[in-house]
Amino acid sequence: MAEHSKIEWTDATWNPVRGCTKISPGCAHCYAERFAERFRGVGGHPFEQGFDLRLVPSKLEEPLRWRTPKRIFVNSMSDLFHVDVPEDYIASVADVMVRAHWHTYQVLTKRSERMLDLLSNRLRFAAAKRNIWWGVSVEDKKYGVPRIEHLQAAPAANRFLSIEPLLHDLGTINLAGIHWVIVGGESGIGARRMKREWVVAIRKQCREYGIPFFFKQWGGVHKSKAGRVLDGRTYDEMPELQNPAIEIVQIAAL
């Protein structure tokens, strides 16, 4: 959808699906819904239908047209594994990610059971690709933590967690097989507060497992004021570059 993104941990967003429905407490103040509903009924706008879920086949091949390697957040305005997205369509999205292999893709879902099921079967051809990152959202113990187990069970080459909005202390979590952890607080009107000790506990566990830790933001009603400094510094850790195509471009540029 956008060749450039303001999201701290990605370069661009790509939305071959638009719209979604809420599934757990992390969705309560969904940014995508808030944004989309502002344009409901605005003729010709991409979100003329508000946040109603729909496929956008005209966007499917967009990454193939972007020649410069990017980190691409897939479906920032939806959830690829939503029950209303047909399996054939999900396979088409995965096919583009495999074909446009010079990019790194970040696929994030709250529908982790369906992702596990498809990565184990229909999407096997994409599951182990090194340029595709498969991730789950984790907001609390009840709904979020079980998604980690689904992700760990998936035959994915790269797995990441987006622990945002962090709503409660997660306690001890099993991070085996996880390659990247992003943590952030909720932002915008009605934002629920995130406590420092919850964040520090996750950072400590990432250190124990040797997992890169990315602290996105404190959040709050004015997220730019709250910033993203934790204990006097920012944490922008990311996994090693694993896309051979990007490595080749970088070496060629030396």
Given a contact cutoff of 8 angstroms between Cβ atoms, the answer to whether 77 and 53 are in contact is no
Closest listed residue to residue 113, CA positions, set 139, 89, 79: 79
Candidates 15-23, 66-74, 86-94, 237-245 — which segment interacts with ligand SF4 by CB under 6 A? 15-23
* Terminal-to-terminal C-alpha distance of the chain: 31
Candidates 19-27, 85-93, 144-152, 198-206 — which segment interacts with ligand SF4 by CB under 6 A? 19-27
User: Which tokens hold the place of 210?
Assistant: 């040797």
State how far the Cα of 144 lies from the Cα of 195, in Å rounded to an integer.
17
Candidates 17-25, 92-100, 112-120, 128-136 — which segment interacts with ligand SF4 by CB under 6 A? 17-25
Choosing from 11, 33, 164, 186, the residue that interacts with ligand SF4 (CB under 6 A) is: 33
139 scored as a contact of ligand SF4 (CB under 6 A): no
Q: Given the complex with ligand SF4, which of 22 and 45 has the nearer CB atom?
A: 22
Sequence-distant (≥ 6) Cβ neighbours of residue 224 within 8 angstroms: none
Neighbours of 165 (CB within 10 A): 27
110 scored as a contact of ligand SF4 (CB under 6 A): yes
CB of 33 to ligand SF4, least distance (A): 6
Q: Which residues are at the interface with ligand SF4 (CB under 6 A)?
A: 20, 22-23, 26-27, 30, 32-33, 78-79, 110
